[in-house]
Amino acid sequence: MLRAAEIPHAFTTRAAGNQGRGGAGDPQAVRANRAAILQALGLDPAHHVEADQVHGAVVAVVGAKDGGRCVPDADGLASAERRTVLAVHAADCVPLLFADTRLGAVAAVHAGWKGVAAGIPVEAVRILRERFGSRPGDLIVAIGPSIGPCHYEVDEPVMERMRRWPWWREVAPVNERGLWQLDLRASCVRQLVGEGVRPERIDVLDLCTYDHPELFYSYRRDRATGRMAAIVAMSGTPTGGNG
């Protein structure tokens, strides 16, 4: 749906190389890989803003003054400034991109299990609503490549934090080892729908990063590995209006 709305965005694969400063790889290669993908999207590297990603639930509002920055203590970024390019990086964690074409606002979020348990998708909707006036029903959300429940066994310390969500049983069936197979993507969708995002406006890429070594980096599979980027920017004119 982001594509239909003509929102410049991307979820990169291994074909775009390592996009993240963390993990394996040298900074120069990362810079070159980033420049290439931004150029392909027609976006200006000088307006690129990334989150430092500490597995928290903070979504920071950024703009032109933040071009080139890595925002500390944030796992999500939101902006209503036209040229600002938002990027988060992941290799198993869930990347989420948000757009409100009526107001011209976007957000990018990184959600690992800690962020999911802490409710960062909910926080992103709240920030878009409170800071920009977005109506949840207007939002378009895309959920990118991430580890599937098939390869995401978790233990009690994880579930202890997930049980705050009333639907936790539905996203974490018990496996034959007495542990849980946590569905991070479904958890994100639950949170978004709970905030009023319409299910038909959420696109979920149903591909497990662990299952596709040819396409994706996976931390759980490879440990020392690269990072894929999720990138979004607002371009064009907000459709505006109150309708």
Interacting residue ranges for Zn ion, rule: CB under 5 A: 148, 150-151, 208, 210-211
Helix (H, G, I), strand (E, B) or coil at 69: coil
In whole angstroms, how close is the CB of 148 to Zn ion at the nearest point?
4
In whole angstroms, how close is the CB of 209 to Zn ion at the nearest point?
8
Nearest to 172 by CA among 157, 190, 159: 159
In whole angstroms, how close is the CB of 155 to Zn ion at the nearest point?
18
The set of long-range contacts for 74-77, using a CB threshold of 8 Å and a minimum separation of 24, is 75/51, 75/109, 75/110, 75/111, 75/115, 75/120, 76/51, 76/107, 76/108, 76/109, 76/110, 76/120, 76/123, 76/124, 76/127, 77/49, 77/50, 77/51, 77/107, 77/108, 77/109
Residue nearest Zn ion by beta-carbon distance: 208
Q: Closer to Zn ion at the Cβ: 119 or 148?
A: 148
Q: Closer to Zn ion at the Cβ: 64 or 150?
A: 150
Q: Closer to Zn ion at the Cβ: 48 or 185?
A: 185
In whole angstroms, how close is the CB of 201 to Zn ion at the nearest point?
26
Calculate the alpha carbon distances from 26 to 20, 31, 91, 97, 156 in Å.
10, 9, 17, 26, 36
Q: What is the 3-state secondary structure (H, E, C) of 147-165?
A: CCHHHCEECHHHHHHHCCC
The DSSP letter of residue 25 is S
In whole angstroms, how close is the CB of 185 to Zn ion at the nearest point?
11
Q: Closer to Zn ion at the Cβ: 12 or 218?
A: 218
Question: Helix 184-194 and helix 120-132: axis angle, to 10°?
Answer: 30
In whole angstroms, how close is the CB of 77 to Zn ion at the nearest point?
28
CA–CA dist 59, 108 (Å, integer) = 9
In whole angstroms, how close is the CB of 211 to Zn ion at the nearest point?
4
Q: Closer to Zn ion at the Cβ: 203 or 211?
A: 211
Nearest to 229 by CA among 4, 42, 81, 34: 34
Q: Closer to Zn ion at the Cβ: 150 or 205?
A: 150
Q: Closer to Zn ion at the Cβ: 152 or 165?
A: 152
